[in-house]
Structure 1
């Protein structure tokens, strides 16, 4: 089963706390696009998109959408003062030069070492890899937002990915509807649980060993 709208927004709200003043940030397709609506207004940050915007804002008010302005997922966005537009070659040049402080991506699987599989399920037609490989390799910090389990209840956080990899040891953080993990030295460190879940709930539905932080907190 997929996540409900409220749960998806809560994951995005938690991810937004990882963004601080002065950062250049890329938001991937899916739950990551929602993060733009939860970034504090007093922060001076620049949101980057692969389709050619630096200075993207959150979702526009209903009725004020501009058909020429969208994020990488094709959804309408607003623009911040000082924003700039450019072609995809320049957008990827920014990524490949390592100028992104944070990228926030979705994933199909993540391993205990931080390996990321997020571009294809074998046998299914997809439009292409997009910018996932470049983003996961070149951003200074990579945060994964995803369901804790797939639609069949199988863990998406595993010892070793079974799907084709996007990048090895690329993830720094994983945020799901149940927990917040940090990937440190090949281990998954559980730092937060998402209310109303418990540590036991997280352990039972995670397919890899977990180190539970002694100062674990609860995110409401």
Structure 2
């Protein structure tokens, strides 16, 4: 069968559909930050950044960029009406205290039990970048991961057991890739959606961990 992988923009568009009204959401550095551009404007959703911002909007137009309005990834942001700034320590109190409903993070690997590895590949020349990911992984009520399904060399990123240093243990709830949407459950990895034209066997072939077909007929 033939299938078309989702683009990075299509991945974050899919995640945006699952963020409910009233949610407090942290968007991790990299791909997750693009979700802000695709949220339903009719929903009141509170975007949080670990450098101490609550109430972010979509990315600004180039002519509206303000060097005093940035997120944790040093990207330009907009601030919605009612948005606020606060101390870095207060921001981490939100993260560690269970006040974030959803955090969306990128990943190098996700294990079958929900272990997350997203800060270091272990390579000698790699630059480790922990940031607030460890705090978010254990502090947020729900952890979503966005990533390509395989590495550039074709190695699976959804694995039976992570081989990279862990960010958090059994913390991931849902995985969004360019091929599928997968829930991490006590019963295993349950596939909820796949790209059009792809067979379940094809998805399993590019996934190290065993999958369960949970798609509705």
Shorter chain as denominator, the TM-score bin is over 0.9
- What is the distance in 2 between the residues matched to 1:10 and 1:156? 19
Corresponding residue number in structure 2 for 1:83: 83
Give the CA deviation at 1:194.
Answer: 2.3
Query: Could you give the per-residue CA deviations for residues 21-72 of structure 1, whole angstroms, max 9, x where no partner exists?
Result: 1110000011101100111001111100011100011111221111111122
Does the 8 Å CA contact 2:116/2:166 hold for their aligned counterparts? yes
Corresponding residue number in structure 1 for 2:14: 14
Normalising by structure 2, we get a TM-score of: 0.93
Aligned residues: 211
- What is the distance in 1 between the residues matched to 2:51 and 2:41? 24
Corresponding residue number in structure 2 for 1:26: 26
Structure 1's unaligned 5+ residue stretches are: 1-5
Corresponding residue number in structure 1 for 2:184: 183
**Does 2:159 align with 1:158?**
yes
When residues 204 and 64 of structure 1 are mapped into structure 2, their CA distance, relative to the original with a 3 A threshold, is: same
**Does 2:69 align with 1:46?**
no
- What is the distance in 2 between the residues matched to 1:26 and 1:100? 7
- What is the distance in 1 between the residues matched to 2:136 and 2:186? 21
The within-5 A match list for 1:27-176 is 27-122=27-122, 123-126=124-127, 128-176=129-177
User: Which runs of at least 4 in structure 1 moved beyond 3 Å after TM superposition?
Assistant: 195-198
Structure of greater relative contact order (alpha carbons < 8 Å, 6+ residues apart): 2
Corresponding residue number in structure 1 for 2:3: none
Structure 2's unaligned 5+ residue stretches are: 1-5
Does the 8 Å CA contact 1:114/1:186 hold for their aligned counterparts? no
- What is the distance in 2 between the residues matched to 1:117 and 1:172? 14
Secondary structure in structure 1 of the residue aligned to 2:204: helix
- What is the distance in 1 between the residues matched to 2:57 and 2:71? 10
Query: Could you give the per-residue CA deviations for residues 132-188 of structure 1, whole angstroms, max 9, x where no partner exists?
Result: 111010101100001101111000000000001111110000000000000010510
